[in-house]
Amino acid sequence: MQTEAQYALLELFRDGGFMMYFLVLASLLALGVIIAKGYILFVAHRDSQRLLEQLAAAPKGVDGTIDLADETQGPVAAILSSGLRRVRDTGHSDVDIEKAVSTTGSIELGFLERGLIVLATVANVAPMMGFLGTVVGMIAAFGAVAEAGQIEASLVAGGIKVALITTATGLTIAIPVNIAYNFFVTRIDRLIIDMERGAEAVLEMSAPPSAY
């Protein structure tokens, strides 16, 4: 049964024409990005939540928070470490602290968004490649009809089959990739909120003690 299924997939791949090679390459590229990005965002979210919970449960001061952030992965830890090091080195200079937090946040956000352009491109291009295969198949079908001088089902069946296979393949690739892209954007938005919470924690620790 498994051998028959494998043969059917190979036959569909062969019948789909040359465009299937590009579609398979796009799907493999998207799959690699999805696996890598999914792992990175999972670790970042898990460690960021744990770090914020630890700080909320037991504040550790500037030095203790820096040590804890250095032992933790993720954008929130990077913001806390960068901002609080600036607090420790320069005192309570709000401008320097906000600049350090802003710069680190921009760098971490760029890292989190890395690879999303690949998913967006695959989600947009895969259906277009499928439609291109459709056009190629229909050209082949009508070319066969023109060469034979008459319309017969057997003459156009091959071209139409190529058109249907490539269109279906392009959509099959684009739909899950688009879902993954939207899911990752949502996860990044949540991490941005965590980063803002980390920035607030830095500003609270950098505030000079009240005289009262």
pLDDT in tens, 145-158: 667 666 666 666 66
* 157: its two tokens: 């069946």
pLDDT at 159: 64
Q: Would you place residue 14 in the very low, low, confident or very high pLDDT band (cuts 50, 70, 90)?
A: confident
Q: Would you place residue 3 in the very low, low, confident or very high pLDDT band (cuts 50, 70, 90)?
A: low
In 3D, which of 118, 132, 119, 112 has the Cα closest to residue 178? 119
pLDDT in tens, 187-196: 999 998 888 8
pTM: 0.80
CA angle 190, 171, 175 (to 5 degrees): 15
Mean pLDDT check: name the lowest of 77-81, 119-123, 153-157: 153-157
